[in-house]
Amino acid sequence: MAFERARIHINAASVGTGFKVRVTKRKGPACISFTLTKALAAQFGWSDGDKLELFVGTDSDHGLLRFRKNNSVGDAPVSFKKSAKGDWVSIPIGHQARFVDEAQLAAWVKFEQIEGGFVEVVLPRWADKTRPAKVAASVPSSKPAAPPAHALRKNVTSDIMGDPPAGRREMLERLGSVKA
């Protein structure tokens, strides 16, 4: 038997925006976690072992999250990790009932550092699945109600037999007069 030494090449991690979200679901409710570059965490002033407060947007701010460093009352731990692709930062926030309860692929998110030490994150489109419905004012419509479904029945036999649709002859006559 002959063996050759295998070459293992690991590509550098793609950075996208530098801030990524993933939703995982195994047993129990889905859990949300964020990963970001170490440089980005340093830019925000976050260190390994810090705790972040998490604020979840409601109503018109649904799909937005805000993080703020607060070691005394923060719930989300900042954890620095190392891998073959480089250093990265993990922020697990667990299950958030306002969002989907199903696994979602990891996706880059938009973010912005705003006043008050907050970092605001815009979640991907999957957050819209649980957006609260806007309550529409019930205004009486001036349109008459649509006829019942049984009144709109088609002649299935003519469709099967290949009969031309109603009004086809008139349409062809109009086309003939236009060409002439």
pLDDT tens track for 161-175: 555 556 666 666 666
Report yes or no: 35 and 44 within 8 Å, Cβ to Cβ: no
- Does 42 share its domain with 119? yes
Tell me what the mean pLDDT of segment 54-81 comes to.
92
| 64, part of any domain | yes
Average pLDDT over residues 33-61: 92
Domain check: are 39 and 114 in the same one? yes
pLDDT in tens, 86-117: 889 999 999 998 888 999 999 999 999 999 89
Are residues 80 and 161 both part of a single domain? no
In this structure, is residue 160 part of a structural domain? Answer: yes
Average pLDDT over residues 24-28: 91
Q: Say yes or no: 174 and 106 in one domain.
A: no
- Within 10 Å of residue 106's Cβ, how many Cβ atoms? 15
DSSP code of residue 82: E
Same domain, 114 and 153: no
Is the pTM higher than 0.95? The answer reads no
Number of folded domains in the chain? 2
- Say yes or no: 156 and 125 in one domain: no
Residue 98 domain flag: yes
Give yes or no for residue 156 having a pLDDT over 50: yes
Structural domain boundaries, residue 34: 19-130
The residue ranges of DSSP E strands in the chain, in sequence order, are 19-24, 31-37, 51-56, 64-69, 76-77, 79-83, 86-94, 104-108, 110-114, 118-122
- Domain annotation covers residue 155: yes
| Same domain as 175, residue 101 | no
Is residue 6 situated within a structural domain? no
